[in-house]
Amino acid sequence: MLYVNEKNFEQEVLKSDKPVVVDFYADWCGPCRMLAPVLEQLDAAVAGKAVVAKLNVDENQHLAAKYNVMSIPTIIFFKDGKAVGHQVGLQSLQSLQRAVESLL
């Protein structure tokens, strides 16, 4: 799993040639911690086809504000440098896989 921040976000997310799933999270967030193993499973399931990344909102407040992240966890789907969808709250592996597959 890739960790992104304000320094590498453009290169790793916006310029990626694959769809990117970005989890906006915080270390203190209980639902975010519950989502972590689901994201690890998603990362394995979509390896080579899409990228799964995590972004700490406490350390990257500018990006969280830019993408209107009001609650966490928020997952934003990027394709061709643009945010093309999002899901808020704890999500199932199946829901995330369906969303990624729609971008492939």
Element (H, E) at 93: helix 93-101
The pLDDT value recorded for residue 47 is 94
Backbone torsion region of residue 35, taken as left when φ is above 0, otherwise alpha when ψ lies between -120 and 50, otherwise beta: alpha
Share above pLDDT 70 across residues of the chain, in percent, rounded to a whole number: 100
In this prediction, residue 49 carries a pLDDT of: 97
- For residue 54, what pLDDT is reported? 98
What mean pLDDT is reported for the chain?
97
Residue matched to tokens 């990257």: 60
Q: Which of 4, 13, 32, 38 is catalytic?
A: 32
Tell me if residue 99 is catalytic: no
Is 92 an annotated catalytic residue? no
All structural domains of the chain, each given as residue ranges with its CATH number in brackets, are 2-101 (3.40.30.10)
- Model confidence pLDDT, tens digit, residues 48-87: 999 999 999 999 999 999 999 999 999 999 999 999 999 9
Residue 31 preceded by cis peptide, ω within 30: no
Q: Indicate which residue of 1, 2, 26, 29 is catalytic.
A: 29
